[in-house]
Amino acid sequence: MIDHIELTLEKELGAFNRILPTLDQFIQRHDLQDRLAYALRLVLEELFLNLIKYSKAGQRSNQAWVSIALRSEDTLITIEDDGPPFDPTMEAIDPVKPRNLAEARPGGVGLALVRHMTAGLHYERRGERNHLEARLMRDGA
Amino acid sequence: MEIQETPRADGITQLALIGKLDIVGLHAVDIKFHGYTAARRRHAIVDLSRLEFIASLGIGMIYSCSKSMERHKVRMVLVNPPATIDEVLRLTGIDQAMPIVKTMKEAESILAGETFEAQA
């Protein structure tokens, strides 16, 4: 592994602000290609939004654990939370493309974008936690 | 994230979205963008050439304002997105619901009721 960062975040929209400076430093430190930098940002944002969307009241905690590992061949984003079981890979289908504005619906495209930007998306329930891995190739393809 | 407006004499609103339209950027410009587009009820040309990032929230903002504008018989045209942003926009099918063009002239032609093909 070349580099690795870990963050513990509240599952709240405002908490995403805490990821961004760390992510920017990570991107600059390794001079990541533009497309990989874009994909990292997009995948983190969409998966974090998804966590918030499916968070439910009464969970043991309101926290999520995020890590980004830069490896020789790829970059691995791991997100864990202790919410109810939820497999976002089952949701990440291609969006229905609208034929016109009347058919267009804001939202519902985030996980499809994640699938497009990643080389692999893997979910498993580990004990009491949802464990999600998104793998991005070094060139962002 | 910021929005710049370029004043025009023809009644079209010309805007540029500059920076990263992520969760933080959206919070900074959402209400302002709505005010420039949906609330103003005039045709709008939105220059994306200096946009560095967009994801589902930002796309939702554009969709939402564009749909509102359509109800008032005015349109929004997106101009010159960088390659990755163009790819992301087209993946969602937004290009089938509203025009994405390369140049300001093409955008002006569409809003003048002419097709780009007719001009070519």
Q: What is the predicted ipTM?
A: 0.87
A44 has a pLDDT exceeding 60: yes
Containing B96, the helix (H) or strand (E) segment is helix B94-97
Higher pLDDT, B76 or A55: B76
Mutate which of B26, B56, B69, B78 to test chain A, going by most A C-beta atoms within 10 A?
B56
Q: How confident is the model at residue A99 (pLDDT cuts 50, 70, 90)?
A: confident
For the segment B50-57, the average pLDDT, to the nearest whole number, is 96
Cα distance between residue B12 and residue A91, in whole Å:
40
How buried is B23 (Cβ within 10 angstroms: 0-12 exposed, 13-18 middle, 19+ buried)?
buried
**Contact check, Cβ <8 Å, A46/B63:** no
Q: At what angle do helices B83-91 and A34-53 cross, to 10 degrees?
A: 40
Nearest-angstrom CA–CA distance, A46 and A77: 12
Residue A24 has pLDDT above 50, yes or no: yes
Beta-carbon separation of A98 and B97 below 8 A: yes
What pLDDT shows up at residue B100?
Answer: 97
Q: Is A40 helix (H, G, I), strand (E, B) or coil?
A: helix
pTM of the model as a whole: 0.89
User: Considering only alpha carbons, which residue of chain A is nearest residue B63?
Assistant: A106
In this prediction, residue A53 carries a pLDDT of 83
| Both structure tokens of A81 | 């939370």
Chains A, B: CB pairs < 8 Å: 82
Average pLDDT over residues B74-90: 96
Residue A141 has pLDDT above 80, yes or no: no
